[in-house]
Amino acid sequence: MERRRLGRTGPEVSAIGLGCMGMSDFYGPADEGESVATIHAALDAGIDLIDTGDFYGMGHNEMLIGRALKGRRDKTVLSVKFGAQRGPRGEWYGFDARPAAVKTFAAYSLKRLGTDCIDIYRPARLDPNVPIEETAGAVADLIKAGHVRHLGLSEVSAETARRAHAITPVCDLQIEYALVTRMVERRILPALRELGVGVTAYGVLSRGLISNATVAGETTERPFFPRFVGENLKRNEALVKKLAEIAAGRGLSVAQLAIAWVLGRGTDIVPLVGARRRERLSETLGALDVTLSADELAAIDAVAPDGAIAGTRYAAPQMDMLDSEKA
């Protein structure tokens, strides 16, 4: 397994991370036994970066990971997001990144995960009511106390990353980055490289849009995601089919092409892939051995230049919450 370091101050991790959100939330029912087996298969393959959020399934995801990592915690790097407020039925109530809340969230996460330290702890979004300096300071306190090892960020602007980094070193920014989602390249990625902050890229398959199912015309509408609705979905299906033709020229699936593309954007970038089953994990691992040629990269750019995807990555209310989109 290729290894990459998350920023100048962060941990060394596998070149691909496992995002576990779908094992508990948002993508329909998941089989817990298969989820645990997939986490174990990832660890056996050398993937040690495991990403979760305390609000995925209202704590279910952390408890699932805690069970899966019994006896293997020392082989993993745990990345945990915090701050989203949810109700018993999964409803959303906003975001809380006040220092006291940060420390409370951490206490509960440590208990659910069955560990005494979280490797990377990050606010899932910028709280508009709390200066990032206060949130970063709370994580810095947790680091000093030995409950957290590194501060991470998620979906923030270059300026917000600078302000947090001035309080305590930021090891990485988690942000959506894919061959169809490239806004990070304009201002955020150059600033992160100046600061020495790495990237963990989620959404590399655009929530399953870049998939064999889309190529086969089997993708259904998902009303909460504009890229999966109406004419947007039709246009995006055509785009993915063109990408699949490029992938076929190398004997790859379109998903493997997309993962290989992100892997090739720099050794400071680690894609997170949300495999829920072992077969999908196996497909993901196949991308590690792929280096795309200049001609292939040019072909991808011709088919999917920046802005070619139809629809925003979230619905309007969620887009308004993204500090990264205000940069």
Catalytic residue IDs: 56
Q: Where are the domains of the chain?
A: 3-326
Residue type, 197: V
What pLDDT, in 10s, does the model give residues 108-139? 999 999 999 999 999 999 999 999 999 999 99
What would the DSSP string read from start to end of 133-160? HHHHHHHHHHHHTTSEEEEEEES--HHH
Would you say 273 and 49 are in contact if contact means Cβ atoms under 8 Å apart? no
Residue type, 91: E
What pLDDT, in 10s, does the model give residues 8-51? 999 999 999 999 999 997 777 778 999 999 999 999 999 999 99
Q: Is the pLDDT of residue 90 over 90?
A: no
| CA-based torsion, 95, 8, 118, 285: positive or negative | positive
Q: Which of 261-294 are b and which e, b meaning 16 or more Cβ less than 10 Å from the residue's Cβ?
A: bbbebeebbbbbbbbbbbebbebbbbbbebebee
The pLDDT assigned to 310 comes to 95
The bridge status of strand 148-154 relative to strand 118-123 is: parallel
What pLDDT, in 10s, does the model give residues 183-232? 999 999 999 999 999 999 999 999 999 999 999 989 888 888 999 999 99
Say which CATH class 3-326 falls into.
Answer: alpha beta
Q: What is the pTM of this model?
A: 0.95
